[in-house]
Amino acid sequence: MIRNRLRRPSERTIAGSAAALAALVVGIIQFRHGIVHLLDTVSYWSGAQAVADGHPFTSRLAPSFSNFDAIEFVQRGGRVPFVDFPLGYPLSAGIIGAVIGVRRAMQLICVLSLAAIAAAAVAGTDTKRGRTIGAAIFGTLVVMLPITRTVTQGALSEPLFTAVALWFVIALARFRGGGSFRPVAILGASLGLLRFIGGPLIVMAAWE
């Protein structure tokens, strides 16, 4: 028993932790000048702020993809239903933002998502040494890609969705190998709450 307690972490665990730590550093550096206000950023921020203020599922911005006009926006007292995107990301950011502020909550979620993406690259490989180290390097490089940097600096939902999608695939593979179905169900449901495209992925879990 003592030997088990003193057992060294596996190489995969070390590699995954190193990749996640490197991704955390990358994310923190990307936010050194704050959030870049893209069009979708403002929409997410408004929805998250409404949750933090105790008005969930609403927004003070006229939705970009809805039929609400300016007159109806005014008639509703400047607060309309949040219908631009699924509710998962603004709901998560708003709940955390009620404690630490919405801006910090959005940054925190994005940075942690980058770490989860890098760790998933390692968790999804086999235990061969060369592949484990290569996966750690690959996972770190992914979070440094220009497209990843853009959606991260804009504090969009893509980093969180990507992280959940990767771990969903890993959980599904483990379930097919005899693992528990619970992670598949939880992650699959989360995908549908983060992006509309997550809906078809839920079918994969239901098919199992």
User: How confident is the model over 95-135, as pLDDT tens digits?
Assistant: 999 999 999 999 999 999 999 999 999 998 876 666 888 99
Query: 160 or 58: which carries more pLDDT confidence?
Result: 160
* Cβ atoms within 10 Å of 190's Cβ, excluding its own: 19
| Per-residue pLDDT, 137 | 93
Q: Which residues pair with 81 in a beta bridge?
A: 58
- The whole model's pTM is what? 0.86
Cα distance between residue 169 and residue 39, in whole Å: 30
Write the pLDDT tens digit of every residue in 34-83: 999 888 898 899 999 999 999 999 888 765 555 666 677 777 777 888 87
176 pLDDT above the threshold of 70: yes
Angle between helices 11-30 and 146-153 (to 10 degrees): 60
| Per-residue pLDDT, 93 | 96
Average pLDDT over residues 26-30: 95
Question: In degrees rounded to 5, what are phi and psi of residue 35?
Answer: -85, 135
Query: 205 or 106: which carries more pLDDT confidence?
Result: 106
Query: Is the separation of the CB atoms in 97 and 52 below 8 Å?
Result: yes
1 pLDDT above the threshold of 50: no
Average pLDDT over residues 163-185: 91
What's the longest Cα–Cα distance across the chain?
A: 71
Write the pLDDT tens digit of every residue in 85-106: 889 999 999 999 999 999 999 9
The single residue listed with the structure tokens 């088990």 is 4
Q: At a CB cut-off of 8 Å and minimum separation 6, what does 80 contact?
A: 58, 59, 62, 63, 66, 68, 72, 73
With the CA atoms of 147, 149, 154 and 155 taken in that order, what torsion angle do they form, in degrees rounded to the nearest 10?
110
Buried b (16+ CB within 10 A) or exposed e, 148-171: bbebbbbbbbbbbbbbbbbbbbbb
9 pLDDT above the threshold of 80: no
